Amino acid sequence: GSASGDALPGMKFTAVPANTEDAVVIPDGYRQEIVIRWGDPVLPGAPEFDFANQTPEAQAGQFGFNNDFAGLIPVDGAPGHFYLVANLEYPTEPFMFTGYKDGEPTEQQARIAMAAVGIAVVEVVAQNGSGALKTVVGPRNQRLTAASPFRLTGPVAGSEFVRTTADPAGTTILGTFANCSGGLTPWGTMLSGEENFNNYFANAGKVTDKTAAKRLERYSFADDDDEHHWGRFDKRFDLAVEPNEANRFGYIVEVDPHDPKAVPVKHSSMGRFKHESANIYVVDSGPDKGTVVAYSGDDEKFEYIYKFVSSRKIKSGLSKTAREHNMRILDEGTLYVATFTAEPVDGSGALPAAGKFAGKGSWKPLLTVNADGTARSYIAGMSPAEVAVFTREAADAVGATKMDRPEDIEPNPKTGKVYCALTNNSDRGTDGKAAADLVNPRNENKNGQILEMTDNHTGTEFTWELLLVCGDPAAADTYYGGFDKTKVSPISCPDNVAFDPHGNLWISTDGNALDSNDGLFAVALDGDRRGETKQFLTVPKGAETCGPVIDSNRILIAVQHPGELDDHSADNPASHWPDGGNTQPRPSVVAVWRDGGTPIGV
Ligand code: FEO
Ligand code: CA
Ligand code: CA
Ligand code: CA
């Protein structure tokens, strides 16, 4: 790897080169340890993992499958103790069960899958002198699954679009799944994005009402997209029986770890789409000081970027009154969608004449929800409830810009600039689909790009530029912020973003198209080294890098779907990480720290 040289604080480590190891590969001088794996007990009384003898009851008390977002929230009054909050995105049945018949789960397998998804809250304790975290199986822990009750808030709650046989009031939803990335709030809660929820419903093709069928199609529901076949065993997942159940997923979920008995919330005021995540910025000066703004991307090809500007300010502390007040911040305010100056380009990825990919943009309002529950739709012919539940249609109506799969979007706490991973879009410029433009500058985009927005947060105008146009640094169609491309680690398919305490951007990848395992990278943002990109670690073969948490002395990653390579399954494992020998691979959260527990990368 390249020497650390004059790298910025936080980036002084020896870059890990591209590789295809069945291991988490970290820089020299660093250490790692598993925090928790699929199947490890979370709730008191849950059994130890037994791959060959799984049950729904055991899984509901254990850590679930395919950990994605991870976060650490301090436990009030217990120094060194944290709630580890983690999304458990989706079941990959052929890798969870030996002898799995493709597309034909047994009822037992389907019910294990329903218990393997959702969210885990696990108390962890920091260890002296290292970055390791030990789990506590105790009363602070929570496991939310496809069966746990959630309270729906905002304009969709109680509306005709979400009433079902089991919930005629349309206010209590059972379950969360497809929880991809997320964010932590400054008021001590976790946000989780419900993303590919269309993959859990049967018989979209049997919905005969024309409007309902069109709306299902706009959200990519299709018979072929029912990957998990839950509708065979639980009729609420059969759209021919319960068409409104589809409208009860696709929200930002908020979980309060400080009260394990609190019913978590789904916030419909933030819109319904394939939420990758939601991340908060709090305005720190001027007349809007204290205003909370949440950014969220809709991760599908040609979908949009959104923000929600709250009209409610944070009440400090963790009293019951403060927590009840703060849990309504994301219910009251205005939802916007982004339009970019997006002049057509030739699609080759060549730098434009001006020297970099840059322009302006504006936010178009879709919906305002008031403190008294009344709401205003900005879209002719759509009620507030319709905008909140069929948000993609509302965004179509205002001409939002079709992006290359908006994944995580997060404001840099040091500068307020907002960074979005546009992961890839193989359909850009094909078959009459939208062609390359300045902000999505390549047709058949395999490697993705990183967007940097300078937003005034509460207003409607912004400027933007591309920080990275990812891919092979030796290729003409890549751009690393103007930095010397012979001195960077190659990056491809950015997914999650985070910031270290020095203000550097960290990016985890999913689907590296450059013949290497996926990894975690640090990117310099300012000065002469802007665009310098260094790989801090790689994950085992077939895995995606998720999480991540980038603290001063500790990095946490979630290793998702290790060993998921073509022509492999639990019957023919491609990976034996993390347990080694002949074991099955297990998605796991890993802590990485520097020898002696000193700060990372300085
Ligand atoms: Fe679940 Fe958008 O990655
Ligand atoms: Ca993701
Ligand atoms: Ca993030
Ligand atoms: Ca992804």
183 alpha carbon – ligand 3 mean position (Å):
6
Q: Where are the alpha helices (DSSP H) in 409-539?
A: none
Q: What is the mean pLDDT of residues 467-478?
A: 98
pLDDT of 6 reads 87
- Beta-bridged to residue 221, according to DSSP, are none
- The answer to whether residue 332 sits within a structural domain is no
pLDDT over threshold 50, residue 3: no
pLDDT value, residue 490: 98
- The domain in which residue 135 lies consists of 33-104+115-144
Instruction: Find the mean pLDDT for residues 559-563.
Output: 98
Q: What is the pLDDT of residues 497-546, one digit of tens each?
A: 999 999 999 999 999 889 999 999 999 999 999 999 999 999 999 999 99
Å from CA of 407 to ligand 1 middle: 6
Tens of pLDDT along 396-418? Answer: 999 999 999 999 999 999 999 99
Please report which ligand is nearest the Cα atom of 423: 4
Q: Is 50 part of any domain?
A: yes
Q: DSSP class of residue 583?
A: P
- Nearest atom within ligand 1 for CA of residue 178: 1
Residue 49: is its pLDDT beyond 70? yes
Verify whether ligand 1 is closer than 6 Å to residue 123 (CB atom). Answer: no
* Averaged pLDDT of the chain: 97
Task: Please name the residue that has the structure tokens 């997209």.
Answer: 225
Average pLDDT value for residue range 84-111: 97
Could you say which DSSP state residue 22 is in? S
Residue 501 lies in a domain: no
| C-beta 407 within 6 A of ligand 1 | yes
Residue 126 domain-assigned (yes or no): yes
H-type helices in 200-286, by residue range? 210-218
Tell me, using a 6 A CB cutoff, whether residue 403 lines ligand 1: no
In angstroms, what is the span from residue 406 Cα to ligand 2's centroid?
A: 9
Q: For residue 366, give every residue at least 6 positions away whose Cβ sits within 8 Å of its Cβ, in sequence order, or none.
A: 271, 335, 336, 337, 377, 378, 379, 387, 391, 394, 395, 398
From the CA of 492, which ligand is nearest? Answer: 4
Hey, whose CA ends up nearest to atom 1 of ligand 1? 180
Residue nearest to atom 3 of ligand 1 (CA): 180
- Is position 128 within any domain? yes
Q: Is the Cα torsion angle 326, 327, 330, 333 positive or negative in sign?
A: negative
In the predicted structure, residue 548 carries a pLDDT above the cut 90: yes
CA 535 to ligand 1 center in whole angstroms: 21
**Res. 200: pLDDT tops 70:** yes
The helix/strand/coil state of 432 is coil
Nearest ligand 1 atom, CA 276: 2
pLDDT band at 323 (very low <50, low <70, confident <90, very high): very high
The mean pLDDT value for 348-356 works out to: 91
- Dig out the tokens for 397 from the structure: 């109506």
Could you give the CA distance from residue 178 to residue 193 in angstroms, rounded to a whole number? 8
Distance CA 130, CA 598 (A): 8
167 lines ligand 1 (CB under 6 A): no
pLDDT > 70: what percent of the chain?
A: 99
Domain membership of residue 136 (yes or no) is: yes
Whole-number pLDDT of residue 2: 46
Output the pLDDT for position 179: 98
Atom of ligand 1 at shortest range from CA of 405: 2
pLDDT tens digits, one per residue of 413-464 = 999 999 999 999 999 999 999 999 999 999 999 999 999 999 999 999 999 9
Distance CA 386, CA 367 (A): 10
Residue 180 belongs to some domain of the structure:
no
- Sequence-ordered alpha helix ranges (H) in 84-230: 93-96, 107-116, 210-218
Ligand nearest the Cα atom of residue 424: 4
Instruction: Give the confidence band of 354 by pLDDT, cuts at 50, 70, 90.
Output: confident
Ligand nearest to the CA of 493: 4
State the total domains in the chain. 1
Please indicate whether residue 195, judged by its CB atom, sits closer than 6 Å to ligand 1. Answer: yes
Q: How confident is the model at residue 286 (pLDDT cuts 50, 70, 90)?
A: very high
Question: 325: CA distance to ligand 2 center in Å?
Answer: 30
Q: Is the C-beta atom of 410 inside 6 A of ligand 1?
A: no
Section 308-326 average pLDDT: 97
Locate the ligand 1 atom nearest the alpha carbon of residue 407 and give its number: 2
Per the CB < 8 A criterion, the answer to whether 420 and 409 are in contact is yes
Give the ligand whose atoms come closest to the C-alpha of residue 518. 4
Q: Which of 306-320, 327-341, 348-362, 566-580 has the lowest mean pLDDT?
A: 348-362
Both tokens assigned to 197: 């929820």
303 in ligand 1 pocket by Cβ < 6 Å? no
Q: Does some domain include residue 353?
A: no
Residue 41 has pLDDT above 80, yes or no: yes
pLDDT, average across residues 80-100? 98
Separation of 12 CA from ligand 2 center, angstroms?
27
Closest atom of ligand 1 relative to the 89 alpha carbon: 1
pLDDT number for residue 111:
98
Distance 464 CA to ligand 2 centre (A): 22
Q: What is the pLDDT of residue 137?
A: 98
Residue 175 pLDDT greater than 70, yes or no: yes
Decide: pTM greater than 0.95.
yes
Cβ(408) – ligand 1 distance below 6 Å: no
Q: How far is CA 297 from the centre of its chain?
A: 9
Query: Looking at the predicted structure, is the pLDDT value of residue 393 above 50?
Result: yes
Collapse the DSSP code of 318 into the 3-class scheme (helix H, G, I; strand E, B; otherwise coil) and give the result.
Answer: coil
Closest ligand 1 atom to the C-alpha of 274? 2
- Give the 3-state secondary structure of residue 213: helix
Q: Is the peptide bond before 149 cis (omega within 30 degrees of 0)?
A: no
For 196-206, what is the mean pLDDT? Answer: 98
pLDDT 10s digits, 147-163: 999 999 999 999 999 99
> 424 C-alpha to center of ligand 4: Å?
9
What pLDDT is stored for residue 1 in this prediction?
A: 39
- Residue 5 binned pLDDT confidence (cut-offs 50, 70, 90): low
Is residue 192's pLDDT more than 50?
yes
